[in-house]
Structure 1
């Protein structure tokens, strides 16, 4: 599919399966994978590993600066799958962000912002989170978007999903009049058989694995749906510049469209929080 791809979160689970699928499809494709730990098995010689703690905004800034300085070949595909499954309450990183929200939202948006100059004019950006379930401005706590005082697992999920929807629409809108045709996809992977369930409390693992055994697909099947769906969505909604796809890679219809004012509020909040985190990381 792509000749050069970068998969953040590509060291395990869905991201690893997507990276392997891309590398296997063409020996001419270079696939870079990044995460905290290098996989024990890298099955294709055209996969390269670069270390990154994607929960740290300052590390992301350093990583993207180094990437842009070292690579003259633009990216065809940027895939963002980093994440964590946890039942813990708000758990702050050294930069003052909830770790779950840092991985699922803030870090992903910073990676897009910093790597935009490194993308081809017709590149695709895939955010694997939850592009299926309804998300809307009404689900946000507008005066506490980073959930300093209103944190719950449900609020964190709603905020990350909803703000991602707002941002993909905002990224697409920014291309108007530039001649660029980068397509932004918010994807829902569904239930996938990865090792994430092992991170649940012991008393929840049995039921989760039983349910997963009945409903889950393999990471390889999910990767196929996500990659094929991205290609088809980019064709179907080329004029719009953004898409949400479900666990079979089908375009989700009737997603709420955010107003310019709502998108601007999310963007301003996002960059304010990100810049504060980068400053805190630099001072640590």
Structure 2
């Protein structure tokens, strides 16, 4: 466990990475994304932040509150429903038109609705798209900007998917997109494990950038608003109990910012000659994390709410031996190609 004192001390040193860090927060108009965005703005020097989400009024509130945290920060809202990949592509194009590099991508998009397989016009389950496809698409689309950030000081670039690290479940290799076997449980199990492999595969291909899936633990984020009435009533009744062991907003934001910026989770090959290319330098006595492939500092990490390396090692090892990591990678890109052709056809008609 990384102590909260270490977390605060590390985040306070974020300014050592210099002014003008560029960050993207997807799903940052509430909950964990909002908490982490505010922590990033508070601790960085003249940051440029892109906030992607659906709720414009929440974005306006967050932007106004961030002005009080850092008057030199610049935050721009991009309204998009990223349960559709066309919207992901549009948001990425807007960012790429304005920035040559990006230092941090942090994604928290998701929902808690119980509607079953809610299919988008792209033929994909919206919930599964939020949990996996959209996250991989953002990272894939913006790889050139992440790569560019590693070629000049501070040389720091990282992509973080906040979902359920450590709670991996089985993957249905006969139904990778959950076309016929979708349920809330199967979606969670499959998307969490696929996020692990996403980080692992990107890290192997992009050794100057670090990638990770983290878990926030139990946090009262307000996502229950998307549940049906009976479930919201039940959740409200459980709120006093949940508060006893839930992590507060400030601590959640600070801990996720630590995961997103600490040198504890370096890329495999950081920019030579830069003390901060791996992130905020670790204090004496702290060890670099072990990647999901079992190698220290390999660039792809599965991280618990308190900063420890986690993950269902046996499950992932068994899948890895069967080539599932590569299968997941190939599947995602086949989905991207299929959806792109579909959208091009729809736009042409």
Query: TM (normalized to structure 2)?
Result: 0.74
Flag structure 2 segments of 5+ consecutive residues without an equivalent.
1-13, 68-72, 151-155, 267-287, 290-295
Structure 1's 78 and 169: CA in aligned 2 closer, same or farther, altered over 3 A? same
Give unmatched runs, 5+ long, in structure 1. Answer: none
2:116 aligns with one of 85, 89, 97: 89
CA distance in 1, matches of 2:38, 2:158: 18
Aligned residue number for residue 88 of structure 2: 60
The alignment partner of 2:25 has SS state of strand
Q: Assess if the C-alpha contact under 8 Å between 1:7 and 1:80 holds in 2.
A: yes
Question: Are the equivalent residues in 1 in contact too, given 2:26–2:109 (CA < 8 A)?
Answer: yes
- The answer on whether the counterparts of 1:58 and 1:282 sit within 8 Å (CA) in structure 2 is no
Partner of residue 145, structure 1: 176
Q: Retained in 1: the 8 A contact 2:168–2:312? A: no
**Residues 233-276 of structure 1: per-residue CA shift (max 9 Å, x gap):** 41413631111111122222663342482222111111111222
**Contact 2:22–2:47 (Cα < 8 Å) also in 1:** yes
In the TM superposition, what whole-angstrom CA distance separates every residue of 1:192-237 from its partner, at most 9, and x where no partner exists?
A: 1111112222222244242432322223221111111341541413
Check if 1:188 corresponds to 2:215. yes
**Alignment TM-score, normalising by the size of structure 1:** 0.90
How many residues end up aligned between the 2 structures? 276
Equivalent in 194, 204, 213 of residue 173 of structure 1: 204
CA RMSD after TM alignment:
1.9
1:246 paired residue number? 304
Distance (whole Å) between structure 1 residues aligned to residue 47 and residue 98 of structure 2: 18
Matches within 5 A, 1:190-269: 190-209=217-236, 210=238, 211-230=241-260, 231-235=262-266, 236-237=288-289, 239-252=297-310, 255=313, 256-257=316-317, 258-259=320-321, 261-269=323-331
The answer (yes or no) to whether the contact 2:26–2:53 under 8 Å persists in 1 is yes
* 8 Å CA contact 1:37, 1:51 repeated in 2: yes
C-alpha distance in structure 2 between counterparts of 1:101 and 1:280, whole Å: 18
The runs of 4+ residues in structure 1 deviating greater than 4 Å are none
From the two aligned structures, give the one with the greater strand fraction: 1
Deviation at 1:28, TM superposition (A): 1.6
In 2, distance between residues paired with 1:259 and 1:29? Answer: 42
Partner of 1:51: 79
Q: Could you tell me whether the CA contact under 8 Å between 2:53 and 2:78 is conserved in 1?
A: yes
- Please tell me whether Structure 1 or Structure 2 has the larger radius of gyration of its CA atoms: 2
